[in-house]
Amino acid sequence: MGPSVRSRAISSALRLGVRPIIHRIPGHAGGIRTARSTVDAAALLMRPGSRVRVLPLNDPQLGTGRDERPVTGEWVVSRDAESTAGGDAGPAAGAVLYLHGGGYVVCSPRTHRPITSRLALDTGLPVLAPRYRLAPEHPFPAPLEDAVAAYRWLLARGVPASGIVVAGDSAGGHLAAALAGEICRLGLPGPAGLVLFSPWVDLTCEISLRAQERARDPYISAVSARRVARLVVGPAGFDDPRLALLTCAWTDTPPVLIQVGGDEVLRPEAEALADALTSAGADCELQVWEGQMHVFQILNRVLPEASAAMRDAGRFIRTVTAPAAAAEPPEAEAA
């Protein structure tokens, strides 16, 4: 079965109206700041659904006695779920740690509420979306340091690692996978699972550049991604081994779900990561959604394919965090 009428219409609109602009996005700090301001202004119009609560988080971590990074961002919690996220009634039994996409240079927890709200509804778990530092002001590994701080923050507040799923999209997918590797290297207890939506696996963009002519991606350009990647890595370049997901050892990796659109230029990267994980012995499920674009899941309120993909992600998260759970929360048609 091919993509829905809505999916084809949205893809066509993006291909004609958005892709030419993104393809020419300048690879310098000024252009990035302009794009960031535009995205942030648009995000102010994005309201969370009535079935979730959004709770701000701002913990400077001054009283820990350790040199910990501040943890800021937001909790997204289903109103129907019993959760103590952000409260004082005790630790939550589990949580989703969601790392937003945006090429490491734009976006925020607010821009990704369509995804975090849906995850909260479909899983019954609170979703923590940290606000990590962005390039070019803060090149890699600054975002990874912030992601590690958020994961440590959950553990320190009594959320068991066996109840935590790390998830992310695009650059946030790269960050989520890098965090899984860093958790292993630091000797921290590993999460229950890893969910990656259209992950940006290869920041050198060598794979996506080779796929550029064959892909029918409605709006992502490998050329512009490479320009942005140079800002992300900064003066240190691409030598940091934590950037290279395809050469990671992937020891003690939790179950992984990867979803990627069939038409996007990053599809070969997702397939290469799935191969690397499977070769390392990890339990990895790769879903290629025919005719879909980059991070199509963010349109789960309007696209039937995106809604179905989010349901699959919710099932995966419930399975790895509570395998014995007999009941499932009702399916959410909209966040």
Which stretches does DSSP call E strand in 60-94? 71-78
The separation between CA 287 and the C-alpha centre of its own chain, rounded to angstroms, equals 16
Please indicate whether residue 328 is annotated as part of the active site. no
DSSP type of residue 264: S
What stretch of H or E contains 211?
A: helix 206-211
Q: CB-based burial of residue 213 (10 Å sphere; 0-12 exposed, 13-18 middle, 19+ buried)?
A: exposed
Q: Name which of 206, 248, 251, 213 is nearest 229 in CA terms.
A: 206
Instruction: With beta carbons less than 8 A apart as the criterion, state whether 85 and 120 touch.
Output: no
Please indicate whether residue 112 is annotated as part of the active site. no
Please indicate whether residue 264 is annotated as part of the active site. yes
- Which is catalytic among the residues 7, 170, 208, 224? 170
3-state helix, strand, coil in the chain (%, to 5): 45, 15, 45
Residue linked to tokens 């607010």:
110
- Which is catalytic among the residues 112, 208, 221, 264? 264
- Token pair of 130 as six digits: 């940290």
Q: What is the dihedral of CA 30, 244, 194, 287, to 10 degrees?
A: 90
> Which residues are marked as active site?
170, 264, 294
